[in-house]
Amino acid sequence: MSDSPPLLATQPSGPRPSLRPHPIDIPIRQLREEELLRLFCHHRDRGDHPRAIELWQELALRNLDRIKQLVAAFRFPGGALLPPAIQDDAAQEAYLRAVSMGANFRESALGQFRAALRRCVHNSCMDYGRKELRHDKRTAGSLDKTYDDDGEASPYDGAIARHSLEQEALRAEDEADEDFRRESHELVGWAVAQVENDSYRAVLEMTYFEQLSADEIAARLDISADNVYARRSRGVKRLEEILRDHRP
């Protein structure tokens, strides 16, 4: 019987692949999307809301191009697209909603995150279409189209009514983490306060904090609704830049 030691399992030749560090030890910008979400859930579930918000903000930024693609592909139930002229503004509004969406997000899988993002963009486009419909009813724009010359019913009316019911149901079922919601709101509030242009900042504050319509803002500032939309659009673009620069 041989006294030689047992043979070890044959090892593959070449350098051994290095192990990836635990996500907690990796800078946020170097994390993969699934790692970002996993780490977000880790801090969310432990009540570390400031860290969770940082991670969610990065997730939203990583998905900005996806948000723009979803807005471009969005269709109302009747099949109509958002007019190309307002798609950028709708995407910017959807992005800001996505930043705050973490307050309601209780899931943990990447597929669930992307499904929630699609719902967020859908609801944002519906709301944006409703705002444009109200505005265009006064300016004879494309969303003011009726089924016939003498009718008052718009092709969008049914979609808007259904969306209102969906929103009521969501509000009734909403059991979001109020601390996370408050801190997400504070993040957007901080970003709005950083907008240098006084006129843009005023419109953003009235839009997001006072929840005023474009017509109400126009009346308060004694400007046209078109001017309100222009200021809001430029202000939201500046918000996007500020939140990008604020990345940890």
State the sign of the Cα–Cα–Cα–Cα dihedral 233, 235, 239, 240. positive
Residue 185: C-alpha distances to residues 18, 85, 91, 197 (Å) = 40, 28, 19, 21
Q: What is the pLDDT of residues 179-215, one digit of tens each?
A: 566 666 777 788 889 999 999 999 988 887 887 888 8
CA distance 174 to 45: 18
pLDDT in tens, 111-167: 999 999 999 999 888 887 776 665 555 544 444 444 444 445 555 555 555 555 555
Query: Residue 237 pLDDT more than 50?
Result: yes
In the structure encoding, which two tokens stand for residue 87, read together? 């798609």
Do residues 215 and 208 lie in contact, with contact meaning Cβ atoms separated by under 8 Å? no
Number of domains in the chain: 1
Range of the domain at 95: 28-145+155-245
Does residue 10 sit within a domain? Answer: no
In a domain? residue 92? yes
Spatial separation of the C-alpha atoms in residues 203 and 165, rounded to whole Å: 28
The predicted pLDDT at position 85 comes to 78
- Phi-psi group of 212: left, alpha or beta (phi > 0 → left; psi -120 to 50 → alpha; rest → beta): beta
The backbone torsions φ and ψ at residue 129, rounded to the nearest 5 degrees and listed phi first, read: -60, -35
DSSP H or E segment with residue 86: helix 84-100
Of 96, 112, 140, 128, nearest to 242 by C-alpha is: 96
Would residue 47 be called left, alpha or beta, if left means φ above 0 and alpha means ψ between -120 and 50 degrees?
Answer: left
What radius of gyration do the chain's Cα atoms show?
24
Residue 172 scores a pLDDT above 50: no
Residue 18 covered by a domain? no
75 inside domain: yes
Task: Identify the sign of the CA torsion 127, 128, 131, 136.
Answer: negative
Residue 50 lies in a domain: yes
| pTM across the whole model | 0.60
Alpha-carbon distance 239 to 248, whole Å?
A: 16
Q: Say if 8 falls within a structural domain.
A: no
Per the domain annotation, does 23 fall within a domain?
no
Work out the pLDDT band at 3, boundaries 50, 70, 90: low
Using one digit for the tens of pLDDT, what is the confidence trace for 206-226?
Answer: 887 887 888 888 999 999 988
Model confidence at 107: pLDDT above 60? yes
